[in-house]
Amino acid sequence: MGPHQLLMLEKQLGHMDQLNELITKLDEEVERPMTPFAEDLKLLDTIPGV
């Protein structure tokens, strides 16, 4: 690979890392208020198609 391709790959991988961090933070933000409903969510997961 040439220098340009290496630069582009580095930038793309860095962007993917940033997006993965954001997804993790958003997952935590959504899960936090759902904690009181953990048992209900487990039951919902047993319903096919839900």
How do residues 1-50 score in pLDDT, each as one tens digit? Answer: 999 999 999 999 999 999 999 999 999 999 999 999 999 999 999 999 87
Query: 34 Cβ partners below 8 Å, 6+ apart?
Result: 41
pLDDT for 22 equals 98
pLDDT for 44 equals 93
Query: 9 Cβ partners below 8 Å, 6+ apart?
Result: 1
pLDDT for 50 equals 79
pTM for this one? 0.68
pLDDT for 43 equals 95
